[in-house]
Amino acid sequence: MDFNRIEKRWQKIWKQKKIYKTKDKVLSRKNFYHLVMFPYPSGNLHIGHWYNFAPADVFSRFKRMAGFNVLSPIGFDAFGLPAENAAIKRGIHPKDWTYKNIKTMTIQLESMGNMYDWSRKIITAEPEYYKWTQWMFLQMFKNGLAYKKKVSANWCPKCHTVLANEQVINGKCERCDAQVVQRDIEQWLFKITDYAERLLNDLDKLDWPEKTKIMQKNWIGRSEGAIIKFPVLNLRFSIEVFTTRADTVFGCTYLVIAPEHDIISNLKSEILNIKEVENYIEQARKKTELQRLEADKKKTGVELKGIKAINPFNNETVPVFIADYVLGHYGTGAVMAVPAHDERDWEFAKKYNLPIKEVVIPNRIDKKNPPAYGKKTVERKNVHALVRNPKNNKFLCLKSKKFHWVTFPMGGIEENESVVEAARRETEEETGYKNIKLVKILGGEVRAEYFAKHKDENRVAYTTGVLFDLINEEKSPVDKEWEISHELIWVDKENVNYDTLCHAEMDDWVKRLNGEETYAEDGVLVNSGQFTGMKSEEAREKMMKWLKDNKLGEKKINYKLRDWLVSRQRYWGAPIPIIYCDPPAGGCGIVPVPEKKLPVILPNIKNYLPTEEGKSPLAHSKKFVNVKCPKCGNPAKRETDTMDTFVCSSWYYLRYVDPNNSKKFADGKKIKNWLPVDMYIGGAEHAAMHLLYVRFFTKALQDFGYLNFGEPFAALRHQGIILGSDGQKMSKSRGNVVDPDNLVKKFGSDAVRMYLCFMGPYDQGGPWNPTGILGVKRFLERINKLISSIKYQVSSVKNDELERLLHQTIKKISEDIENFHFNTAISALMILFNKIEENHQQCDDKTIKRFLKLLAPFAPHLSEELWHQLGGKKSVHLEKWPRYDKNLIKEETFELVIQINGKTRDKILANSGISQKEAEKEALFSDRIKILITGKEIKKVIFVADKLINFVI
Ligand code: ANZ
Ligand code: ZN
């Protein structure tokens, strides 16, 4: 059959009859706003777009048939850098390029047959739209959420533009491969950080994928910590550090400040090696943030000679360094370095020979032998001897025959004995081995609490691990009684862990054996003055109080989230509606364009390359730049930067509810009718930026009084990724892309849509299988053949089995679509159709019609065609979703749970609806039950129909 012809025909009819036009309110129907992320008009729709839009359309159609008044709009995110770059490359105007693509993509989108209400289409590059993007900017500005600041930015000297971190690959510009440098540029920012806490807390109430919420949480990156002031020796000046680990402050052996920190300019005259320092700063400027943070990167830095800082807790003086592993914009841009407990500091300290001072030790509670209540507690200093046989990498252990536990040779440290001496002595006493060579002490002590069975007391032990290598097997005699009760065993390295050995310290020994040098977790404080002995948590609280009392610092919450840089020195974007009035004799400064003068039209210019100094191409246009100040009327200049396109997409969802309003961004009543969005669908790659920005906008607009809700998307789902038939991610360079247009030509849109739904779980995607789509096409052909060729009895014969399956399938497909399990829904549809085919002689038209309704969301064209062949007058898509009869779908059998005295002892299959008598009989038939019950008196029987039977004996 000619799918293409049928599909085109119905698309035309749907358009003529406007069946997808959405009314703002329909009597007795609840509104449901279902949104897919609008596409960027990059040229052609690829199959990934289809994967976003087609299954989403199945959901829309289902919701509509299920009784909702569904809004399903589409538009184009039309501003942006790619258009400009492509245009520059091809010598076409970005606008022409963009609108040409929009045209192509519109035709493609229409070929899908989705139920979009095209009358609500928005294009963000239209003045009618960006007027409101500019208006949004002004609201941010007027409410103190938009501000200007010099910021260090990734700068591509060749493209003359600021780059986002994602656009910098290995320090080079993503597009032109030029070396990216850091440059301070005056930029506009939105104060999204003011909303960090709300953006974090409100995540909890959203029906969003857990992974996405976690990504947002990490992006916001909340850290609780403290600011500590370190006075600079001999100067009336302090360096403030941000730390999450105030409890480690006694272990601070130096400070590090970021190279871009302004402290350096303040201290310039005091720094003896200022040349060297300035040199280092110069080098650091060339690096991007990502390069600076690379974990495996060698740490570098320069000491500020002549500068010393004072640790306020112990009044020790420490040296001060600059190093690029500390970032200027995070916290205070300065850290107290604690090499014993921070890996980066440790590496740095090793390299520059700085002292390493341990101040927190692990604190372990033995899970196998936890402290017992009411027993006395004894403190001890212990050693564990880890004796390794270097020939086979096995460790010497003792197994107690009485207690069945395995330990290292171990014991207390005696007076005037070193840990190493104690470890040697214990090894010889307990095992006889006397020729062992010291390898190293395994770090500092570990505190552990446990119950010492053999002594019937609780212990708090401070234990040091000592690693030895066995030299030879020579042994001294061992105490007879001890020898009888203990067995020597050699344990493989991989079994040296807490499963085998009973020491609470095992995890620490294992880490240290594997070369871990720093202890970064919480624990118990040592060498920390009045705070010694406290647990980390408690110590932090007390220290914070001490800081506050002494005005040397305070509690501080920090966020990784940074303010949103929204200005771009680019042409193809919404102009920022700001005017600068600063004539020599004191101007009005930064003046917003009056709202009634919006939009500030993006002028048509010839040269849309950035200027040599890196200004936006708009700076070329004198006509655009030179204006009168709206306040004083004097000559003034327009801002020439345009807005980040993420601004356009941060409020587009609002515009769809009232796309043609020229007085407001959207009418309040319409906002109430539709918003927030009930279901939002799009790629997981937008988890952090886009989704965070929209949430910020929504909250800000709520605060300004324009919205009565604070979250834009009540529910969110991501589609998975389609892989090429080779199992690799689809990409042009790999040559494994499939072109949707060709597929539509060859198989028809219904088959493409349906195959996309069928190929795997929607949130996971999967590999494109060329024979899979053939299978779906054949399925549609079989449907067409059967339904268009057979005459049905009109509601006469009845086939109970088919009827039951039909109702079960209605239930399953409804639930599956609701849960985005499109693939299993289609499987169910296929099973149902097989049954219909088998029994077509007993199949009435009512059954077929219900089948077509189930098919309609997946294959909207074919189902419509057949619906009309069966005499349907209106569109099948305006029909009601079929209902199922609860009684009909009841399973014929169920699993009867058999209990004895409330404990489940067996489960058997039984017929639904059986009586208690029958159930008793069947249950007593079970061999397991027989064994348990024979000879016992049954006192009572409890029966729950179609569920369980319980014998009380
Ligand atoms: C002392 C310390 C001791 C630290 C210790 C950690 C462990 P998060 O959790 O990511 O917020 N830090 C602070 N400002 C920094 C900056 N501008 N650039 C690089 N590192 C910075 O990390 C907070 C920790 O990161 C802070 O706590 C500080 O090091 C470091 F055993 O202070 B910490
Ligand atoms: Zn003025």
Question: What does 549-570 look like in DSSP terms, one character per residue?
Answer: HTTSEEEEEEES---EE-EES-
What would the pLDDT profile of 506-542 be if each residue is shown by its tens digit? 999 999 999 998 999 999 999 999 999 999 999 999 9
Kindly report which listed range (162-166, 713-717, 810-814) carries the lowest average pLDDT score: 162-166
CA of 638 to the centre of ligand 2 (A): 12
Confidence (pLDDT) at 46 = 83
Q: What percentage of the chain reaches a pLDDT higher than 90?
A: 70
CA of 146 to the centre of ligand 1 (A): 29
| Rounded distance between C-alpha atoms, residue 417 and residue 436, angstroms | 18
pLDDT, mean of residues 750-766: 91
What would the pLDDT profile of 836-857 be if each residue is shown by its tens digit? 888 887 778 888 999 999 999 9
Q: 402 falls in which pLDDT band (50, 70, 90)? A: confident
Which atom of ligand 1 has the smallest separation from the CA of 252?
1
Quick one: which ligand is closest to 225's CA? Answer: 1
CA-nearest of 537, 544, 507 to 522 is: 537
Q: What percentage of the chain reaches a pLDDT higher than 70?
A: 98
pLDDT, mean of residues 304-326: 96
Confidence check: pLDDT of 830 > 60: yes
What would the pLDDT profile of 119-155 be if each residue is shown by its tens digit? 999 999 999 999 999 999 999 999 999 999 998 888 8
Confidence (pLDDT) at 732 = 72
Ligand 1, pocket-test mutation among 240, 244, 357, 361, most atoms within 8 A of CB: 244
- Give the angle subtended at the CA of 905 by the CAs of 900 and 910, to the nearest 5°: 100
CA-nearest of 660, 765, 670 to 720 is: 765
Sequence letter at residue 495: N
Confidence check: pLDDT of 797 > 70: no
pLDDT, mean of residues 810-826: 95
Ligand 1, pocket-test mutation among 222, 227, 228, 245, most atoms within 8 A of CB: 245
3-state SS class at 440: strand
| Rounded distance between C-alpha atoms, residue 653 and residue 533, angstroms | 56
What would the pLDDT profile of 607-660 be if each residue is shown by its tens digit? 777 777 778 889 889 999 999 999 999 999 999 999 999 999 999 999 999 999
CA of 166 to the centre of ligand 2 (A): 39
- Lining ligand 1 with CB less than 6 A are 223, 242-245, 248, 258, 326-327, 330-331, 333, 335-336, 338, 341-342, 520, 558
Quick one: which ligand is closest to 630's CA? Answer: 2
Higher pLDDT, 907 or 694: 694
Higher pLDDT, 366 or 737: 366
CA of 587 to the centre of ligand 2 (A): 5
Kindly report which listed range (618-622, 666-670, 682-686, 907-911) carries the lowest average pLDDT score: 907-911
CA of 5 to the centre of ligand 1 (A): 65
Confidence (pLDDT) at 791 = 66
Confidence check: pLDDT of 793 > 60: no
Bond from prior residue into 599 cis (ω within 30 degrees of 0): yes
Say if CB 802 and CB 842 are below 8 A apart: yes
Confidence (pLDDT) at 207 = 97
Confidence (pLDDT) at 226 = 96
What phi-psi label fits residue 632: left (phi over 0), alpha (psi between -120 and 50 degrees) or beta? Answer: alpha
Residue 197, both tokens:
């806490």
pLDDT, mean of residues 777-789: 91
Residue of minimum CA distance from atom 11 in ligand 1: 223
Q: 314 falls in which pLDDT band (50, 70, 90)? A: very high
3-state SS class at 197: helix
Residue of minimum CA distance from atom 26 in ligand 1: 243
Q: What's the full length of the chain, in residues?
A: 953
Mean of per-residue pLDDT scores for the chain: 91
- Give the angle subtended at the CA of 640 by the CAs of 180 and 598, to the nearest 5°: 140
What would the pLDDT profile of 439-491 be if each residue is shown by its tens digit? 999 999 999 999 988 889 999 999 999 999 999 999 999 999 999 999 999 99
CA-nearest of 881, 886, 889, 882 to 804 is: 889
Confidence check: pLDDT of 290 > 80: no
Maximum separation of any 2 CA atoms in the chain, in Å: 110
Residue with tokens 């779906």: 776
pLDDT, mean of residues 552-578: 93
Q: 48 falls in which pLDDT band (50, 70, 90)? A: confident
Confidence (pLDDT) at 446 = 96
What phi-psi label fits residue 306: left (phi over 0), alpha (psi between -120 and 50 degrees) or beta? Answer: left
Confidence (pLDDT) at 513 = 94
What would the pLDDT profile of 182-232 be if each residue is shown by its tens digit? 888 899 999 999 999 999 999 999 999 999 999 999 999 999 999 999 999
pTM exceeding the 0.85 threshold for the entire prediction: no
